[in-house]
Structure 1
Amino acid sequence: MSAHETIDVSTQDGSYDVHVGAGILDGLGELVRGACAGRAARVISDSNVAPLYANDVALSLLDAGFESSIHIFEAGEASKSMETLSELLERLAEGGLDRDDVVVALGGGVTGDLAGLAAALYLRGIKLVQVPTSLLAMVDSSVGGKCAVDLAAGKNLAGAFWQPSLVVADVDCLDTIAPELFRDSCGEVIKHAVLADEALFAALERRTLTDAGLTGEELVDIVARNVRIKRDVVEADERELGLRQTLNLGHSIGHAIEAASGLSLGHGSSVAAGLCCIARASSRLGWCSDECCQRIVALVASHGLPTDTDVPHKELLSFMLRDKKRHGDGINLVIPREIADVELRRCQVGELEEIVRLGCGVS
């Protein structure tokens, strides 16, 4: 076994550990048993991840004294729907799970969202363990308790806050991730660096995450640093009333880009493009320095991620104004001032039009 770091997360809704390591999936059952005292565990995974890990995870849970079973849904963002959620809830009920039992979300962000929301709703809430297998899920969506499904009107519009009892991130799982999916996930890592970690940003400038030479120990360190950034924000603002909104850096434009693509562009790529767009607009409006903007765009480009969008401005604005982050007649936008220094700025519709004009489709 290689490096293993444990990060504790404490919120009003409960405390839990995030285990980040290489080769730690084999001991999942023991870790789950240490966090959950239930009788049964239902592993929820998608059709891509389940063939790789689900049987081993179920056996590990069985060895730890759980009655374990597996539910598999079709991989892809299209499955993050009310229909799939309803099916998951029916399967939990058919399995006779009670409030002491546990849902184990094995997979990427879609799996974590679906399984998390099912755990939050079933019996008004049962135990949840997040086992992220993608970089995006490891550094972002598995920590913090946000879970949601998409509606026809937009992404993540039906959801809840439901903190896990445990998160187990084994970086060895990243060996089975397609290069394009791993690259897409780098968008959230870059976002975290811009948000709160100048040293991480500089390290990524020296050596990109897509460098094939990264070791397991280096990946553990990078994932753990990202988890700590998110942990610190979540602990200060669990329900996204203020500070936690800064985690939406790049997301208001990014979600609009993602929605306009029909969800064909990955979330991390969309956030990366949105981050560059808001940095360009901020630079041109005098809210951040030209150097800050140039460094952000250069780092995104060095990871092979998009730095702009060709979506028409009216279409972007339409999606932005339907986003769940809208408050009345405006949106709280996260503005980069310098690397590791951001501010929350309330923008009215007219200002949003100017920001989109200055930042999007102009690189």
Structure 2
Amino acid sequence: MAVIPVAIAGAPYEVRIEAGLLARAGEHCRPFLRKNRVAIVTDENVAAEWQAPVTASFDAVGIASDWLILPPGESTKGWEQLARVVDWLLALEVERKDNIVALGGGVIGDLTGFAASMVKRGCGFIQIPTTLLAQVDSSVGGKTAINTPAGKNLVGAFHQPSLVLADPLALDTLPLRDTRAGYAEVVKYGLIDDAPFFEWCEANGAKLLAGDSAARETAIAKSVAAKARIVAADEKETAGIRALLNLGHTFGHALEAETGFSDRLLHGEGVALGMVLAARFSARQGLMSGQDAGRIVAHMEAVGLPSSLKALGLDCSGRRLSDHMLHDKKMDAGTLPFLLLRGIGETFLAKDVDLNEVAAFLDEELRG
């Protein structure tokens, strides 16, 4: 089992990575539970696969489980379901020192973590991520949030989990499209500051997506270690270090908004295309070589992730997409910092990007 510490000042925790952890969830969670009951939030798809074995794992250590099963999908991450989770936890008389469990992908982790940050002014929670995206990204670092009509993740809180359990076997139950979407966040860590890891992705990405267990465990452990290092240095994104984790997200969130935060474009697919656009824009600005930008495009194509804005088939202008960016939570004093690249493994925060240039660039990309 790989155990990766996340050294957050005042709230350190571990990420444990091993095949079979879901079947032993109760054993790992038991030391973090004060009572003989635990509240578990999940969605319908995850419950169909994992409710029975996870319940059995808690039963085996003398813990009864209460389950709240929500609808699947991005639309669950909003006010209505947040209120439902909070009211349910209060009805169960959850206390501040209790830990609840978030079992699912990024939507469930974000929603449950945010609810935990609010109940009794903050109770504990344990993340058990069941998608690749959640295992390598959203379950680590304490960002919790919901979406609103104004934009994605605009209402939330920093609230660190008490423990994260990542079981690569959970990925066997996912559609390939969902695993691909999560893989975009794996590639991101190579593009941020680890060129050798991007090379590893080029060599092993197809094996990971095909189900190779060793490749999956390596990718999860490497990604979690990279994120743990970054969030420990800048927990609340105030020093400019954690912002590097947003590579591809400014473009990606605009695309998600334009497609209605729907299954037309999954979050990870938006990030993948966002990283392509960040690379191509960086090359257009003379910041990185066209050869490096081409490698990024080629790898996304090779693993079946979106690599062309024109292919998305949007009926909008570059200006409309750039206007979506004005609602980005990273806006600071009226300006929007962009994550751009000087090369593979050389991401940096640019604070002088002209949105008019971005709009013109996006018009060109929309035309192909």
TM bracket, shorter-chain basis: over 0.9
Whole-Å Cα distance in 1 between the matches of residues 237 and 136 of structure 2? 18
Partner amino acid, structure 1, of 2:319: K
Whole-Å Cα distance in 2 between the matches of residues 220 and 191 of structure 1? 17
Q: What is the TM-score when the length of structure 1 is the normalising length?
A: 0.94
How far 1:266 sits from its partner (Å)? 0.3
Whole-Å Cα distance in 2 between the matches of residues 356 and 44 of structure 1? 41
Q: Which runs of 5+ in 1 are unaligned?
A: none
How far 1:347 sits from its partner (Å)? 3.1
Instruction: Count residues with an aligned counterpart.
Output: 358
Q: Which residue of 1 aligns with 2:247?
A: 249
How far 1:358 sits from its partner (Å)? 2.6
Q: What is the TM-score when the length of structure 2 is the normalising length?
A: 0.93
Contact 1:210 1:303 in 2 (8 A): no
How far 1:285 sits from its partner (Å)? 0.7
Q: How does 1:245-324 map to 2 (within 5 A)?
A: 245-264=243-262, 265-310=265-310, 311=314, 312-324=317-329
Question: Using a 3 Å threshold, how does the CA distance of structure 1 residues 181 and 321 change in structure 2: closer, same or farther?
Answer: same
Partner amino acid, structure 2, of 1:275: M
Q: State the SS of the aligned residue for 2:347.
A: strand
How far 1:302 sits from its partner (Å)? 1.0
Q: State the SS of the aligned residue for 1:326.
A: coil
Partner amino acid, structure 1, of 2:348: E
Say yes or no: does 1:9 pair with 2:6: yes
Identity of aligned residues (%): 37
Q: Which residue of 1 aligns with 2:214?
A: 217
Q: How does 1:1-363 map to 2 (within 5 A)?
A: 4-209=1-206, 213-241=210-238, 242-264=240-262, 265-310=265-310, 311=314, 312-347=317-352, 351-358=354-361, 360-361=365-366, 363=368
Q: State the SS of the aligned residue for 1:338.
A: coil
How far 1:57 sits from its partner (Å)? 1.5
Contact 2:110 2:143 in 1 (8 A): yes
Partner amino acid, structure 1, of 2:246: N
Moved more, 336-345 or 64-73: 64-73
Whole-Å Cα distance in 2 between the matches of residues 210 and 274 of structure 1? 24
Contact 1:150 1:157 in 2 (8 A): yes
Question: Using a 3 Å threshold, how does the CA distance of structure 1 residues 259 and 210 change in structure 2: closer, same or farther?
Answer: farther
Whole-Å Cα distance in 2 between the matches of residues 230 and 192 of structure 1? 8
Q: Deviations over 1:137-185 (max 9, x none)?
A: 0000000000100001111111000000000010001000001111122
Whole-Å Cα distance in 2 between the matches of residues 65 and 15 of structure 1? 27
Q: State the SS of the aligned residue for 1:120.
A: helix
Q: State the SS of the aligned residue for 1:330.
A: coil
Whole-Å Cα distance in 2 between the matches of residues 300 and 224 of structure 1? 21
